[in-house]
Amino acid sequence: MEAEVVRMMQMPSLRNTAYPTEQSIVQFSGMNNRYPVTAGTIRDADGLSGAQMPSLSALPAQTEIRTYDNPVRMYPYSGGVLCITQDGIFLNDIKLTLPHGMEQQLRATEADEYLIAGINTQIVVYPLKISISVTDKKIYSLDTDCELGTNLVTDGTEPNWTLHLNEWVESEGQYFDLIRVQKSKLLRVVWVRFHSKDGTIKMLPMRSSEQVYKVNDTVDICDEFGTVLVQSATIRYMTDTEVGFYANSLKAALEYYNGKLMFKRTAPSLTTLCEGDNRLWGTEGNTIYACALGDPFNWHRYDGLSDDSYAVSVATDGDFTAAAHYGTHICLFKENTIHKVYGSKPSNYQVVTVTAPGVKTGCARSVATVGAVLYFCGRDGIYAYDGDAPECLSANIDDTTIPFAIGTAQHYVAYTGERLLAFDTVRKLWLPVSHDWLCDMVYAGGETFLLHPNGILTRRDEHIDYTKTCDWWVQLEDIDDTTPAQKRYQKLLVQAVIQRNAWLRIDIRMDGGRWREVSATEGTRGAMLSLPVYPNRCNSLGIRFRCHGDVTIHSITRCYTSYSERR
């Protein structure tokens, strides 16, 4: 009886109704401004490096090199950096002597108007139409005029020039049409500063010891009014007092001409410019030009030789927006068209026209090559061109106007006007890099050079020196898979390695509220740490890391409780 009473008093065993605890690891990924976003997506950052992705680490610090006054543009070359300012042109820290009147041109030219390309030891700059020699540190004009004067004299003196048709030149072993001139007529005009007696400074022309032209230069021979008498005549022989052209090439125009004579060499007024296959390529209007082989001074030499210059017109609508050398061909872009020039010499050049997304107007400096892919900013986003149809890469970001960009070893680094973005060409993701305000940037010799509006030129190395690393931070996109997904966070574990003399601060915000610091850790011995964070219940959770020095954040482990979907 007592046993039955005891059995009746026993209560039935209750089922455990506690909700299970689950864990998941969050790996960091690139930017994604399109809904929905996944946990670990990066919203913004300053000083973030993509070298160790998917782990977060610091960008190498900047080293100050020198300071310029009123900087505008940069261009890298084998010996350093060319810098154009509103006050002058510099090769590294050497200020070049400017031709007369160029100071006003520098002050009136905006950064986006400059077109710069290098060929051999020359750096060509448009719209100034100059060539800068990096060997002798001098500036030469692409357009030159040389007035020979008249061959008529009335005072018994020697005429300024005389014509000698079909004359044998022993040293060359052939006949030439020669124009003999006074030696000083063929010397380059330079402008020299003089102090006059009244204390004023004057710029006066003086003839230097350098000749204006050289053999293989192509010139137009004009009268005193600029009317062309002989077009595109190529100099084939030259001394201090003689200029030789092909035999019988001058007879028809100059045999009975007795007026003033002028040599003139002109380059087209290009609106796009690039270098490819030892030639400069560019466009003016709807015409595509290429200079003579290895010679940026000659654009109108048509002698039927393999080193001639080249020109061809196209009939597509719109203006050319950019030019670039890619692989085996030259790309001339319009906003909706790409003209591709194939071939190895003028006789076999051919232009292939493709209707495809091109470079956006005003974004010519966004064109950059990384590996075997050409990247550029188009009307509808940022594109990658590998020889086929361009592919849009910017579907996940909002910054689609790129004033200028560079290509590094692994990243396409684009400046949006407010911050730097980097596209990792291996992992195929976008990263916010920094919030630098820049005039220009270039990549040369494995180093990135940044030109700031205050005139400071800095260098950012590929290798990190943590003794110079500044503060950096990363903000993640808000996690909103809590209440809607029946989850409640118990804690977050941040896996990080903090080296000596470094520190890590973790901030969180809930439902878009204020940021508050929930963890502060100093570096000691560089071991892997799991830093706990305890958020309150919320619909969305924001996370921000503030770091100093050598800190590597590997991942976040989410520990949460999953509720039943039944209500």
Q: What is the Cα–Cα distance from 539 to 542, expressed in whole angstroms?
A: 10
Query: Per residue in 338-367, pLDDT tens?
Result: 999 999 999 999 999 999 999 999 999 999
**Mean per-residue pLDDT for 553-565?**
78
Local confidence band at 190 (pLDDT 50, 70, 90 cut-offs): very low
12-16, 181-185, 479-483, 511-515: range with highest mean pLDDT: 511-515
β-bridge mates for residue 194, sequence order: 202
**Mean per-residue pLDDT for 8-12?**
56
Query: Per residue in 299-317, pLDDT tens?
Result: 999 989 999 999 999 999 9
Residue 409, pLDDT above cutoff 90: no
Of 414, 431, 537, 533, nearest to 474 by C-alpha is: 431
The Cα-based distances of 123 to 77, 107, 118, 264 in angstroms read 8, 20, 4, 22
Residues 6+ apart with CB under 8 A from 231: 220
**Mean per-residue pLDDT for 494-521?**
92
DSSP 306-349: TT--EEEE---SS---EEEEETTEEEEE-SSEEEEEE-SSGGG-
CB 97 within 8 A of CB 471: no
User: What is the pLDDT at residue 183?
Assistant: 63
User: What is the pLDDT at residue 207?
Assistant: 45
Structure-block tokens of residue 243: 């200029």
User: What is the pLDDT at residue 447?
Assistant: 85
3-state secondary structure of 438: coil
Q: 3-class secondary structure for 545-559?
A: EEEECCEEEEEEEEE
Instruction: Report which DSSP code applies to 347.
Output: G
**Mean per-residue pLDDT for 38-67?**
89
262-276, 437-451, 522-536: range with highest mean pLDDT: 262-276
**Mean per-residue pLDDT for 170-184?**
85
Residue 193, pLDDT above cutoff 50: no
Local confidence band at 486 (pLDDT 50, 70, 90 cut-offs): low
Give the least confident one: 56-60, 244-248, 280-284, 396-400. 396-400
User: How many of the other CB atoms lie within 10 Å of CB of 104?
Assistant: 8
The Cα-based distances of 103 to 138, 263, 306, 410 in angstroms read 16, 26, 38, 39
Residue 414, pLDDT above cutoff 60: yes
User: What is the pLDDT at residue 127?
Assistant: 93
Query: Per residue in 85-133, pLDDT tens?
Result: 999 999 999 999 888 778 888 999 999 999 999 999 999 999 999 999 9
Local confidence band at 559 (pLDDT 50, 70, 90 cut-offs): confident
**Mean per-residue pLDDT for 230-236?**
92
User: What is the pLDDT at residue 566?
Assistant: 46
Mean pLDDT of the chain: 85
Backbone CA torsion sign across 430, 433, 437, 438: negative
Residue 451, pLDDT above cutoff 60: yes
Q: What is the Cα–Cα distance from 162 to 543, expressed in whole angstroms?
A: 84
Q: Buried (b) or exposed (e) across 109-120, using 16+ Cβ within 10 A?
A: beeeebbbbbbe
Q: What is the Cα–Cα distance from 550 to 531, expressed in whole angstroms?
A: 17
Q: What is the Cα–Cα distance from 64 to 72, expressed in whole angstroms?
A: 18
Of 500, 482, 484, 497, nearest to 543 by C-alpha is: 482
Phi-psi region at 241: left, alpha or beta (left = phi > 0; alpha = psi -120 to 50) = alpha
**Mean per-residue pLDDT for 500-513?**
91
CB 526 within 8 A of CB 500: yes
Q: What is the Cα–Cα distance from 398 to 32, expressed in whole angstroms?
A: 9
Structure-block tokens of residue 492: 């977050």
Local confidence band at 225 (pLDDT 50, 70, 90 cut-offs): confident
Query: Per residue in 363-403, pLDDT tens?
Result: 999 999 998 999 999 998 999 999 889 999 988 888 778 88
Q: What is the Cα–Cα distance from 417 to 270, expressed in whole angstroms?
A: 26
- Terminus-to-terminus CA distance in the chain, angstroms? 45
Local confidence band at 204 (pLDDT 50, 70, 90 cut-offs): very low
Residue 134, pLDDT above cutoff 70: yes
The Cα-based distances of 248 to 139, 220, 245, 255 in angstroms read 35, 16, 8, 10
Residue 544, pLDDT above cutoff 60: yes
440: amino acid identity, one letter: D
Counting every residue, how long is the chain? 567
Structure-block tokens of residue 28: 């960091």
Q: Locate tokens 């299970």: which residue?
A: 20
